[in-house]
Amino acid sequence: MQRVSSANVQVREKVVGSISKGLVVFVGVSNDDDELDAQYIVNKCLNLRIFSDCLGKFQFSALDVQAELLVISQFTLYADTRKGRRPNFTTAASPNEAKSLFSMVLSEFQRSSLNVSTGEFGSHMLVSMVNDGPVSIILDSPDKAFDT
């Protein structure tokens, strides 16, 4: 996810989603992901304190500041580039599985009462954003085992 001062997504030269201050959340779904993984990611995104107070200290969460969210599906997050020159996507979930879990993630974000926008699953999208900080955080659901 990336903290932004603004962002939008276009599909077929038309803006389909836009936000002001908030987070752009790129969601990749792996073969191993399930509903618990989706819930963990949503909870972490909403509650991680990455918005600054007046002293510049990360003190506030997306919920605290009523951030807007632009949630984008992105299977390329599961690119394996360890071998050769072409990325391998065998650990990414199939399109049907990914769409189902992405829809669940989107629904969970929408339940937060924050303004949520999205792109179009499976489409070629142009995402524009002004990264604020820059602040970019990688969240991975297998890390839930370490979360207390």
Residues labelled as active-site residues? 76
Q: Dig out the tokens for 59 from the structure.
A: 């003190």
Alpha helices in 48-94 (DSSP H): 62-65
Cα–Cα distance measured from residue 130 to residue 57, given in angstroms and rounded to the nearest whole number: 20
Distance between CA atoms of residues 88 and 92, nearest Å = 9
18 within 8 A of 7, measured Cβ to Cβ? yes
